[in-house]
Each structure stands twice: as structure tokens, then as C-alpha cells.
């Protein structure tokens, strides 16, 4: 009788999926004409180069974004006041369509998610509120409140939790949101206090970096222990920056040092907690957001 071949990882099948090869940055506030934009920039990790992507369906700043392996969802933001709008960006075609509205209007919020949902949380005047967006139906329902009240915060997560941290009103405090129960619990504090920061990570850690100052500081959050350590500095100082990454690196880009928007990037390697300068984004901006197809974070 022949032996039954056990299930095993099959690269030829798995490699047909996006492998966290790029990051998508979108929206923001330009220093050139002083207005919000719908522009996007696609950053390829292997070459450290960026090209212009397709436009979002609305011009916006102070927004948040989360992702699956195939789409990025950009939501809320500022258009004279907070809005509940979303834009669904398909990676394969570099095109965007309007998505379903979130359950609250806000700007200066953050987002994290997995393969089925994205959780948008916090924001100016809303602070602890969340909205849970289901990708399959393009619809949102109210989620459980965060344990901290904050805006200009950042978020990173894996397939089961999202960590919302920092921000004005929160400082170094974090809130750990469990997707399966739509509940949040207090997490460990970041190693520094800042608003207007950014975050990205892989399945085990989240890296929070930059912030008002401007700062190049980072804090590395380990999900399994809810503890943080100081990480290596970014290669430039900025606030209102954005970040996205894959299982090995995170790209922090754009932002402001007090002189308008920037296209500069810093590539952070998780294994060494060190950063090197990356290639420029395809446009200069601040107060924008980023996402990426990241196996282990938004699939498994």
C-alpha cells in the first residue's frame, strides 16, 4: 500500500499570490498647491523604486488604510471635516472604485486588519470609536471601542490582533484589538510618546516610528508578550509620515519636517532593527497612508 503524502507547503501554488513585493501609498496633503490629493505611489521592495499608481476615488488627507493580498482599502479622512468615505484599490489593475462607507466620520485615525476585515479606529473627536469593514461585502459595522482615546495615532497587527498606539491624547499608550471578539484590551506602552507617527510590521512585531518633533525614533512592539523595546532610528526625521511592509522590511515614507511634504523613504529591516535610505516615492506628500499585500499579516 503506498504511503499517503502528507500536506506540505507548495511554493508553485503559493507563489501565484502577491508575496509582499510592494507597498502602496495614497492620498495626503501636498506642499505645492496646498490641497488634498487622490494620488498613489507604488514602492517595489526589491528595487527600492517607486512609480505612480492609479488615483483613489476621492482626494483626501488624514486617512487610514488596510489591506488584503489583492486589495487595499483607504478610508475616512479630512475634506473640510471628517468623512466616512472609502476607496477600494485593486493591486492587479491599479484601479480604484468607491467602497461602502464606514460607520463613523473621522480624520487622523489608524487602521489594521487581516484577510477578511479591516478595523478603522480612533480619530479627531471620535478617539476610541472603531468601524469594522468586511472586504467581501464592502460593508461596515460598528466595532468595540479602543481602550485609549487618541487621534494622529498609528496601528500595526497580524492575522488575529491590531495594535493601536501613540497619538495625541494617548502619548505612548496602546490598545490591542482582537478581531474575533471585536474587543480591545490595554497593551504595553510604546518606548516613546508621539503623535503623527506611522507603523507597520510582520506576524510577530509592529514597528512604530517617527512622529511630531520631528522624530526618527522607533519602538518595536512584540505581539506575543505585549512588550516594547527601542528600535533603530529611521534615516530621516518626520511627522505625518506613512508606513507599509512585508515579512522582513517596513518602508516609512514621506511626511513633514516643518517644510511641507516629502518623498523621502527609510527602509527598516526587522531582523537587525536598522534602517537605510530607500528610493523616493513618486510624489511628495504628508498626512497620507500606506498598505501592502503582506502574507502572515493579512492572509494567515
Which residues are CB-neighbours of 276 under 8 A, at least 6 positions away?
235, 266, 267, 269
Domains in the chain, start-ordered, CATH in brackets?
24-291 (2.120.10.80)
At 286, is the secondary structure helix, strand, or coil?
Answer: strand
Position 13 scores a pLDDT of: 34
Position 32 scores a pLDDT of: 59
Position 295 scores a pLDDT of: 72
Position 19 scores a pLDDT of: 56
Confirm whether pTM is higher than 0.85: yes
Residue pLDDT, tens place only, 17-30: 445 899 999 999 98
- The 3-class SS string of 16-42 reads CCCCCCEEEEECCECCCCCCEECCEEE
Q: How does 135-163 read in b/e, with b if 16+ C-beta sit within 10 Å?
A: beebebeebbbbbbbbbbbbbbbbbebbb
Exposed/middle/buried for residue 260 (C-beta within 10 Å: 0-12, 13-18, 19+): middle
> Which positions of the chain have pLDDT values less than 70?
1-19, 31-34, 296, 299-300
Residue pLDDT, tens place only, 39-95: 999 999 999 999 999 999 999 999 999 999 999 999 999 998 999 999 999 999 999
Amino acid at each position: 500500500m503506498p504511503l499517503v503524502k502528507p500536506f506540505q507547503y507548495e511554493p508553485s501554488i503559493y507563489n501565484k499570490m502577491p508575496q509582499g513585493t510592494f507597498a502602496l501609498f495614497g492620498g495626503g496633503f501636498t506642499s505645492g498647491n496646498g490641497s488634498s490629493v487622490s494620488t498613489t505611489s507604488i514602492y517595489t521592495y526589491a528595487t527600492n523604486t517607486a512609480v505612480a499608481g492609479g488615483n483613489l476615488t476621492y482626494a483626501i488627507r488624514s486617512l487610514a488604510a488596510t489591506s488584503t493580498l489583492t486589495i487595499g482599502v483607504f478610508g475616512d479622512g479630512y475634506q473640510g471635516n471628517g468623512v466616512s468615505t472609502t476607496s477600494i484599490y485593486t493591486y492587479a489593475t491599479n484601479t480604484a472604485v468607491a467602497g461602502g462607507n464606514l460607520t463613523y466620520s473621522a480624520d487622523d485615525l489608524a487602521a489594521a486588519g487581516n484577510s477578511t476585515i479591516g478595523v478603522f479606529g480612533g480619530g479627531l473627536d471620535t478617539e476610541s470609536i472603531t468601524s469594522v469593514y468586511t472586504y467581501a461585502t464592502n460593508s461596515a459595522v460598528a466595532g468595540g471601542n479602543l481602550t485609549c482615546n487618541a487621534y494622529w495615532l498609528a496601528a500595526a497587527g497580524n492575522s488575529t490582533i491590531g495594535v493601536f498606539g501613540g497619538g495625541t491624547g494617548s502619548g505612548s499608550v496602546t490598545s490591542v484589538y482582537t478581531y474575533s471578539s471585536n474587543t480591545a484590551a490595554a497593551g504595553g506602552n510604546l518606548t516613546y510618546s508621539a503623535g503623527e507617527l506611522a507603523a507597520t510590521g510582520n506576524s510577530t512585531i509592529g514597528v512604530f516610528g517617527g512622529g511630531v518633533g520631528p522624530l526618527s525614533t522607533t519602538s518595536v512592539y512584540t505581539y506575543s508578550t505585549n512588550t516594547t523595546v527601542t528600535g533603530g532610528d529611521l534615516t530621516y526625521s518626520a511627522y505625518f509620515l506613512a508606513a507599509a511592509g512585508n515579512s522582513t522590511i517596513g518602508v516609512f515614507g514621506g511626511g513633514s519636517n516643518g517644510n511641507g511634504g516629502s518623498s523621502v523613504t527609510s527602509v527598516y529591516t526587522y531582523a537587525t532593527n536598522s534602517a537605510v535610505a530607500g528610493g523616493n516615492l513618486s510624489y511628495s506628500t504628508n498626512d497620507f497612508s500606506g498598505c501592502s499585500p503582506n502574507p502572515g499579516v493579512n492572509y494567515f
